[in-house]
Chain A
Amino acid sequence: MKTIFVDTQPNGALAPKQSRWKELWFLFRQNRLSILGLIMFVLFFIVALTGLFLTSGQEPLFDPAQVRLQEKLRPPISAPNLETRNSANVPTLGVFILGTDNLGRDVFSRMLQGAWVSLTVGFVAVGISVLIGIFMGGIAGYFGQRHINWYHVLVVMVMTSGTILFSAGFVYSGAVVLITGHLLLFSLFLIKKMWGEQNRPKWFRMLLKGAVSVDTLIMRVVDIMLCFPTFFLILTVVALLPASIYNIMIVIGLTSWTGTTRFVRAEFLSLREQDFVTAARALGVGNLRIIFRHMMPNAIAPVLVSATIGIASAILTEAALSFLGFGVPPPHATWGNILSEGKRFIFDAPWLTFIPGISILIVVLSFNLFGEGLRDVLNPKLRERQ
């Protein structure tokens, strides 16, 4: 990608200079499905944002929670009953655009509110997983060759067992083990400083030997995560924890970071050997600056793609959890729980199933298509052949 712009013959004819974004946009524009995806993506974002403003606050313009029992299960675009009409029962626009549900709540308002909640679930879950993924992948890729010493392992083991004991209810013994861990850490640190390189006793030199490389450690953790059946794990945790929208976001985020970690690690492993990184290091640029300023912009492409698709799958996971009864709990409407409540009335009120179902389909589809377009544009291998 970078070599495109480097012209090694200064006296030859120069290609017209294009900025990187312009070129990406030009390539992206050729994929009509992705453009459609991008438009839907932006549209959904605007709808969700306006929905947030129109449905929240003390007296929202569209009240998603107002129950009108005499208006229940009205089909879309139906006016409220004339004889029962009073100011509180008339919807904001005069008609129920998308009908009402079994409690007479306006589906349009609920969809507006749900758009924002679904979007938040997707974005926060993916945000968590991308942050963990970049962090772990970056460490594994950049610092992977370094070793963790035995005394690190020792201290971490003592600390972990202390924490587990503490949180399992053995407060006293847990605290003792934790304090021992801290003392151990300090004393080992002091001993290391006190004895120079030469006159360390043999047992201490053993402790300073490398036990396992950072890379191996992180990749083993990823292996362990990959062994859990993901949906089953999410279901277990969500079912055992108290129902809340934050738990769902966190659990989805914590179970889906392995893909990002692998991408970032692979990118970093190849980037680390490249000349511009060596040059930066030779100039005395610090590790953090090399990572975030020089390497990350080159490694971010696959992460972006997987994040876009991850948002889509987080929305689907939330809908699936709602279906099983473990979704976002009632005060929040999400498209998933409107759909799973509506399925009980699929014959009497098909709009309760089809409106949220088709909305989820369209939004998830647009995220996926957009992600696919991004992948094609950002992948130089696929581009060359065009």
Chain B
Amino acid sequence: MISFIGRSIIQKTITLFFISVISFLIIYLAPGQPSQIDPMNPKFTPEMLERFRKVFHLDKPMHVQYYLFYRDLLSGNAVSWKDNQPVLKKIWERFLNSLPLFIVGTLLTWTLSFPVGIRSAIHRGGVYDRSATFFSYFLISIPGFFFAYIMIIFVVNTFHVSVIGMETFGIGDNSLPHLIMDRIWHLLLPSVLGATAGVAVLSRYVRSQMLEVEGQDYVRTARAKGLPPDQVHYKHALRNALIPFVTMFGLILPGLIGGSVIIEAIFSWPGMGRMAYEAILARDYPVILTVNFLSAVLVLVGTFISDLLYMLVDPRIRL
């Protein structure tokens, strides 16, 4: 156990180092300079450019830039090139905005896909199964933003509520229930849209896991003993089918920082995804690299947690 933890920490640190190098190289070797982002701006005189390059260490050789950047990042001193705000503070503010979307979306995904998937597996080949299969493929295949536009038009025309942004503009001094309802309406659509693909994929996965277990010998034995079908399905089959999903709890973690660029762009939601998108447009390298680094850390922590969970849940696994 201890040796497993030690080994994976060492391994993950090495992986993280390579990730930091690669993401830095992608940015560094890309054509164009961040100082040329706005060549028509009259304020950008050659002297200004020189100062800009000096302040942000752009005149240093590559390895020095790499060292300086990650030193700043790890000590929390990295600042955005665009507005001189500390990067971590910026990310934290946007993260708090994305968090409700993430929580509601994840809850929807996990609560919807299990009933759907289990029911499809139990009634394999039936009308319900086939229509659920078709519907989940429909949801996977529709271009996200096209679906979002249709949903926005539908909701706005049917319920006459506004859905763009985090709250209705200028709603300031209304009664509390009104404010809360407004927030909920604004939260609902983007999180439902963010969850659709997740529900579709996860319910398929639940179905296939469930089918896998239902074909095992011990389930047939349980059925042969004359147990009621519900007990066979939910006690014998489901409990064993759940094992892989326990490990997936760890893999939710990376979704925290990714945010959905497309959904947040459509709904003008001031979240992480949009901040990253704006940072890419502005060539705000510290923000891009920090988001990348943090999401890599979350992936690594997530896989680590899921390995540990696997060991806890399934005593047959010895890592």
A353 CA to B26 CA, complexed, in Å: 35
Residue of B nearest to A339 (CB): B146
A-chain residues with CB within 8 Å of residue B163 when the two chains form the complex:
none
A319 to B144, CA, bound (A): 9
Which residue of chain B is the closest to A220 with respect to CB atoms? Answer: B15
Complex contact A382–B261 (CB within 8 A):
no
Q: Which residue of B lies closest to A223 (CB)?
A: B15
Question: Which of A223, A235, A237, A368 interacts with B137 by CB under 8 Å?
Answer: A368
Interface residues in B187-228 (C-beta closer than 8 Å to A):
211-212, 215
Complex: how many Å from CA A316 to CA B144?
8
Q: Which of B75-83, B108-116, B175-183, B274-282 contacts A (4 or more CB under 8 A)?
A: B274-282
- A239 engages B281 (CB within 8 Å): yes
How far, in Å, is A337 (CB) from chain B's closest CB? Answer: 12
Residues of B within 8 A of A367 (CB): 141
A249 at the interface (CB under 8 A from B): no
B27 at the interface (CB under 8 A from A): yes
A361 to B138, CA, bound (A): 8
Q: Bound state CA distance, A320 and B261, in angstroms?
A: 10
B89 to chain A, nearest CB (A): 21
Contact of B140 among A360, A368, A382 (CB under 8 A): A368
Q: A357-B146, A368-B141 are in contact. Are A323 and B29 (CB under 8 A)?
A: no
Least Cβ–Cβ distance between A336 and chain B, in angstroms: 8
- Number of B residues with CB within 8 Å of any CB on chain A: 53
The stretch that binds A, out of B16-24, B230-238, B306-314, is B16-24
Q: B143–A319 contact, CB under 8 A?
A: yes
* Residue-wise interface mask of A (336-365) relative to B, using a CB-CB cutoff of 8 A (1 in contact, 0 not): 100110010010000001000100110011
With known contacts A227-B299, A240-B30, A353–B280 Cβ distance under 8 A: no
List which A236-273 residues lie within 8 A (CB) of chain B: 236-237, 239-242
Closest approach, in angstroms, between the C-beta of A330 and any C-beta of chain B?
Answer: 19
- Give the size category of A's interface with B: 35 or more
Please, how many angstroms separate the alpha-carbon atoms of A257 and B212 in the complex?
A: 27
Check B143 against A33 for contact (C-beta < 8 Å): no
B142 at the interface (CB under 8 A from A): yes
Smallest CB gap from B283: residue in A: A240
1/0 contact string of B1-45 vs chain A (CB within 8 Å): 000000000010011101100110111111110000000000000
CB of A22 to closest CB in B, whole Å: 23
Known: A324-B261, A365-B141. A224 touches B22 (CB 8 A): yes
Indicate whether B291 reaches chain A with its CB closer than 8 angstroms: yes
Residue of B18, B146, B215, B280 with highest tally of chain A CB at under 10 A? B146
Q: Give the residue of A168, A227, A232, A240 whose beta carbon is less than 8 angstroms from that of B62.
A: A168
Cβ-closest chain B residue relative to A347: B153
Bound-state Cα–Cα, A238 to B146, Å: 22
Least Cβ–Cβ distance between B292 and chain A, in angstroms:
7
Does B168 make an interface contact (CB < 8 A)? no
Check if B130 is an interface residue, CB within 8 A of chain A.
yes
**Residue A164 CB within 8 A of the other chain:** yes
Contact status B137-A365, CB under 8 Å: yes
A212-223 contact mask (Cβ, 8 Å, vs B): 1 or 0: 000000001001
- Chain A residues with Cβ below 8 Å from B296 are 227-228
Q: Which of A235, A369, A372, A385 contacts B277 (CB 8 A)?
A: A235
From B15, B61, B140, B288, give the contact of A236 (CB < 8 A).
Answer: B288
Q: Which residues of B contact A237 (CB under 8 A)?
A: 26, 30
Known pairs A220-B11, A324-B277; list 19 more (Cβ under 8 Å). Answer: A223-B15, A228-B295, A231-B261, A232-B258, A232-B276, A232-B295, A236-B27, A236-B292, A240-B26, A240-B31, A319-B145, A320-B144, A320-B145, A336-B143, A346-B153, A361-B146, A368-B137, A369-B137, A372-B133
Supply 12 A–B pairs (Cβ within 8 Å), ascending by A. Answer: A33-B134, A170-B61, A227-B16, A228-B19, A228-B292, A228-B296, A231-B258, A232-B258, A233-B292, A239-B281, A242-B31, A361-B138
Query: Using a CB–CB distance below 8 Å, which chain B residues touch chain A?
Result: 11, 14-16, 18-19, 22-23, 25-32, 61-62, 130, 133-134, 137-138, 140-146, 149, 153, 211-212, 215, 254, 257-258, 261-262, 265, 276-277, 280-281, 283, 288, 291-292, 295-296, 299-300
